[in-house]
Structure 1
Amino acid sequence: MDETDVSGTYLGFDFSTQQVKILATDHNLQMMKEVSVHFDSELPQYNTKGGAIMQNDRITVTAPTEMWVQALDLALDKMKQSGFDFSTVVAVSGTGQQHGSVYWKNGSHAILRRLDAKMTLHEQVKHCFSIKDSPIWMDSSTYAECRYLEKCVGGAQQLADITGSRAYERFTANQIRKVFCRQREAYEKTERISLVSSFAASMLLGDYAPIDYSDGSGMNLLNLKLKTWDKTCLLSVADNLEEKLGIPVPSSTDLGYISSYFCQRYGFNSNCKVIAFTGDNPASLAGCRLQKGDIVVSLGTSDTLILWLDEPHPSTEGHIFINPIDDDAFMALLCFKNGSLTRERFRDKYAGGSWENFSKALQMTKPTNNGNIGIYFDVQEIIPESVGDHRFDGKDKKVVEFSNDEEIRSLVEGQFMAKRFHAEQLGHKLTPQSRVLATGGASANPEILQVLSDVFQAPVYTLDTSNSACLGCAYRANHGVMGGHKTAFADIFRQPPNYKLAAKPRPADYDIKRYGRLENAIIPL
C-alpha cells in the first residue's frame, strides 16, 4: 500500500463511557469487523460501575485514566488475534466521551515519542498522569466553578454567546478550574491537558494530539466565531492554560502518520494516517451522515436532538458545537429527560398498558388535537426547568384532563412540539429538503413517527445508530485522507445511506409559537 492508496481499510476508535471499541470498514465504507473491551467485566481490577467511579459525595464521578490505555491494548490484541491485517489500514480516526479530561504529567511527551514495541502501552504510560482519575461527563461537583466562570465573562448568556453553552458542571473548563483551585500541585506538574478524544489520538500518534474544533466547543473555552481559545475564559479558569491545551484544529485535520510503535507491534503500514479525533456526539452526527437541515431525534429514556445549523443562536438552553464535518457550519444538541418513561406512564394509564391501544389512540385522533396541548414532566426537566402535568384547551385555559385518546395525542404532540420549538430557538430552519432521522426504542412505533413527521412537517426516516459514533470515525478517517474540508463529506460515499422512510407529513398547522408561550407560562418564577 503506497501513500496515495485509498482502496484499503479504515478504523474508527470509540472511547465511550463503558467500553473501548474498534470498528473496521472496507474502502466502500462498509463495516467489516468490530471488537470491544468492556471496562467493568474485562478490567474488573479498576472497580468501575458502568465504566465510572462515583465518590462518596455522590456528585464527583471519575474514571481511571490508565484503564482506557489498557483497554486499547486489549482491543488491538483482539483485532490481531482475529486475523485482521493492520497493514491494509489507510487511516484511523476516533471519538471519546465528551467532557472528560486527561492531565499528562511533565515528561510524558518524551515517553510517548519513544514507545518500545516489546511492551504494552499500559506498561509504559500508566504513570504519565498527574491526576490518576479523569473527571468525566457524569461529574456534577463544579457548581461554584460554573458560577465563577459565568460571572467573569458577564453572565450565562454571554458565555453561551462566546462558547455555545452556558457553564455546565461537566464541561472541561470548570473541571480544570476545580483542579487548579483544589489540586494546585498536580496542575503545576501537568504539561498537557487533553480531552478523552485527543488523549486517545495522542497514543496512536505517539505525540500530543491537538483538540479538534468540534469536541473543543464542548468545553466552555473555545470561541465559536473565532475558533480559538477565548482569552477571557482562559484567564478565568487557570494560569498558563493556553500552553497546556495546545492550538485547536479543524476536525478533519490530518495529524500525521501513526506511531512507529503500532507499525512494529501490530503491523500497521508506516503511511497510515491519524485524522483528528472528536467527541461522541459530533462523531454520531458523522455516523448518521447528517446533511444541512437534518435533525436526528433519539427516542429513549431521555429524548435527544442533534441538529445541523448554519446560523446558530446560542442560548442558555442546549449546546452548540462546531460541525465536525463542515467547519463553516454548526451542530446543536438538546436533551429532554422526560422521554420513554413518560410515554410508558400514559400507555399504562390511558391505554390499558397496551402499545397497540396507544397507537390506536393516535390513529383515532386528528393532528393538532383540536387545539389541546399537554406538557408533561415526570421529573424535573432540563428544558425548561419545570415539573408536573399541564393541560391547556384550545383557548389556552388550563384544564384538569382530556379524554383518554386526547391525553395520549397531547403527550406525543407536546413532546415533539417542544423539540421543534427549542430547535428553532437555537436557529434551526426547516426547509423542503429537511429530514428527521429517528432512532431509539420508540422509533419502532409507526404511529409515534407519524406524529413526529406531522409536527416537523418533514419526512421521517429510521436508521440503526448502534455503531453511529464509531462508524462515523471510520467515515471521518476516509474524509480526512480525501482532503478533509476541501472535499464535501457526502462525496466520500459510494452508496446511499441505509435510511428507511417511516412517515410522510400530513397537512397540519401546528402553532409552535403558541406552544412556546404555554411552556413559558409553566416555568416557576
Structure 2
Amino acid sequence: MSLVAGIDAGTQSLKVVVYDPATRTLVATASMPLELTSGEDGRREQQPADWVAAMQTCFSRIDPALRARIVALAVSGQQHGFVPVDADGQVLAPAKLWCDTSTTAECTQIMDAVGGATGAIALAGNPILAGYTASKLPWTKTHRPEAYARLATILLPHDYLNFVLTGQRFCEWGDASGTGWLDVRTRTWSKDLLRATDADRDLADCLPPIAAPDALFDIDPAMAAQLGLPATAKVAVGGGDNMMAAIGTGCVEEGRLAMSLGTSGTLFAYSDTPVVDPAGAWAAFCSSTGGWLPLICTMNCTVATEQVAKAFGFSTREGDAHLHATPPGADGLAMLPFLNGERTPDLPLGKGVLAGLDPTNFSPAHLYRAAMEGATYSLKYGFDAFVRAGMAFDRIVLTGGGSNSAAWRQLVADVFGLPVDVPVQSEGAAFGAALQALWAIGRAGGDTASIADIARTHVAVDPALSARPDPDRTRAYATAYTRFLRYLDAVTPLQRG
C-alpha cells in the first residue's frame, strides 16, 4: 500500500509524480510552469520561492488519500544553479541557473588561477564551463556584494528544496560534481579550485556536507502538513536532473546510454570508475548512485524547435508533420541552434546561425527541421567524443519532452545509427527520483537490492515508441551532419572572438 514520490524542479516547470511499486504504475502526476528572468548579458534566473510554491500547488492537486500513503520522496533539480542562503536559511538573491552565461569571464578568471582548463581538469576532472556553479560566486561578489557578504551556505536548486523539506543543509555527489569544485575522482572538494574562486574567503565553510546516495532524512513536520504528507515520510538525497534521469531510464549499469531531449539536451552513460577526458570533451560527473556519469550537455535542444514554432505561429505538436513534409538534410538548410550560447561545442558566447538558405528551403517546415536536426547534431558531436574514447553502445534510451515526438525519435535513430527505446514512464527525472526514494527506503528496512536491481524491476520500455535506424536515411543524415560540422568550423573563430 506504500507509495513513493518524485519531484523534478526543471527550468520550465516543476513536476511531481507518485509511484506505486506494487502495481508498477504512476498513480498521480501534477505540474506547474515556472517563470524565467532573462537579461541581455546572458543572465538566466529564477526565484527559489517559485519552486516552493509550485511544489505546494502540485501536491495540493494530488488526491489526499494518495498523499497519505507516501512513505518516501526525493527531489530532482536542474543542475549548476546557485541559491545563496544566509545563516537563518533566507534566500539572499535570485538563483542563477545552468543556462546563465553572464559569468563567462569568471570561468576564465578561475581557470587562469590554476593553469587554465588543463589545470582545472587535473584538479577536479572538469573545466569550469559557462553555467557551472563555481563562476557564479565571483559574479555575485562583484554584482551583489551585500548578498555575498551575508552568504552562509551555497545550495544547488535540488539542495534548496531538500532544505525546505527537511530543514537540513546537505548535498550529494552527483549534483555536487556539477559545481566545478568537486574532484570527481576522489569525491572531495578541491581546495585549490575553491581558493581560485575566492582567495579572500574559505568557501569550504559555505559548502554543505555530502550525504551518501542511500541516505534518508526526516521530513520537517510543518512542511509535511503543508503538503499533506505523513509526518513519518522520509526524504532521500535526490540529485541533479541528469542523475535522476539516469535512474529513471535504467542508466545505472555500464553499457547503457541515455539521451534527454529537454530545454537542454543531454547524453550520458553510467560507469563504475571515473571517466575523465584530458581535453574536457565531456562532463566527468559522479552519479547519484555511487558511480560516475560521463555526460554531454547542449544548452539548446527543444528551445530551438519551440522558437521556430513560435516565430511561425504553430505548435510544436504540429512539428512532426513538418518533418514528414521535408527530406533529411532539409534540402541543404542547416541551423547551428546556439540561441543560449553553447556548452557542446564549447561556445558560451555563441549565437544561432542559419546557413544554406535558398528559395526552395526558405519555409517554416524546413526551418523547423533544421532546428531539430541542429539540436540532434550537437548531441552527435558529443557522442563522437564518447566513441573516440572507446565507449560502445548498442542502443539509446530516450527521455525528455522531445521523446514525445515520433519524428524526433526516428531522427535520433537515423542520425546515430542505433535503435531507440523510450521508457513507459516519460518523466525520467521525476520517476528516477521516485525510484531513488524507493531504493533508499528499502535499504533502510533491510532490503539488499541494488539500484540496478530496482531499475531492472521498475524501468520498462514501451515497444510502440521504439524506433530503428533506416540505412538510407542514416546515410543522408551523415552527409548533412558533415555539412553541419563544416559550418561549425567556419563560425567557431567568429563566435569565440
Question: Shorter chain as normaliser: what TM range?
Answer: 0.7 to 0.9
Q: Deviations over 1:371-406 (max 9, x none)?
A: x99854366773445765668xxxxxxx999999xx
| Within-5 A mapping of 1:32-431 | 32-38=27-33, 50-54=34-38, 59-79=42-62, 82-106=63-87, 108=88, 128-129=89-90, 131-160=92-121, 162-163=123-124, 165-208=126-169, 210-238=170-198, 239-250=201-212, 252-262=213-223, 268-269=229-230, 271-291=232-252, 292-298=254-260, 304-310=265-271, 311-313=275-277, 315-316=279-280, 319-336=283-300, 340=305, 359=324, 362=327, 376-377=335-336, 382=342, 383-384=344-345, 385=347, 388=353, 419-426=379-386, 431=392
* CA distance, structure 2, for counterparts of residue 200 and residue 354 of structure 1: 35
Q: 1:232 to 1:71 in 2, by over 3 A?
A: same
Is this contact kept in 2: 1:293–1:434, CA < 8 A? no
Q: What is the TM-score of this pair, normalised by structure 1? A: 0.71
Q: 1:263 to 1:249 in 2, by over 3 A?
A: closer
- Distance in 1, matches of 2:188 and 2:393, equals 35
Report how many residues are paired.
460
Q: Post-superposition shift, 1:436? A: 4.3
For 2:193 and 2:395, the matched residues in 1 are separated by 36
C-alpha offsets along residues 65-100 of structure 1, whole Å, 9 cap, x if unaligned? 334444444444444xx3235443221111223222
Distance apart, 1:181 and its partner CA: 4.0
Cα distance in 2 between the residues matched to 1:36 and 1:450? 28
Aligned identity (percent) is: 19
Residue aligned with 2:192, SS: helix
1:8 equivalenced with 2:2 (yes/no): yes
State the one-letter code of the partner of 2:49.
E
- The Cα shift of 1:231 comes to 1.0
Q: Distance in 1 between matches of 2:321 and 2:82?
A: 46
CA distance in 2, matches of 1:189, 1:522: 46
In structure 2, the residue matched to 1:498 is 461
TM-score by length of structure 2 reads: 0.75
Quote the RMSD (CA, aligned, Å).
4.4
Shift of 1:213: 1.2
Structure 1 residue 464: deviation in Å?
6.5
Amino acid at match of 2:29: E
* CA distance 1:24–1:217, change in 2 (3 Å): same
> Using the alignment, how far apart are the partners of 1:303 and 1:194 within structure 2?
21
Gap change, CA 1:434 and 1:184, over 3 Å in 2: same
TM-aligned CA deviation for residue 276 of structure 1: 0.5
Could you tell me how far apart the structure 1 residues matched to 2:375 and 2:152 are?
Answer: 46
Deviation at 1:226, TM superposition (A): 1.4
Q: Any conservation in 2 of the 1:293–1:307 contact (CA below 8 Å)?
A: no
Residue 25 of structure 1 is matched in structure 2 by: 19
Please tell me whether Structure 1 or Structure 2 has the larger radius of gyration of its CA atoms.
1
| Alpha-carbon distance between aligned partners in 2 of 1:322 and 1:147, rounded to the nearest angstrom | 23
Q: 3-state SS of the aligned residue for 1:215? A: helix
Which segments of 5 or more consecutive residues in structure 1 lack a partner in the other structure? 1-6, 39-49, 109-127, 348-352, 392-398
Structure 2: where are the runs of 5+ without partners?
A: 313-317
Q: 1:194 and 1:33, CA in 2 relative to 1: closer, same or farther beyond 3 A?
A: same
C-alpha contact (below 8 Å) 1:140/1:169 kept by paired residues: yes
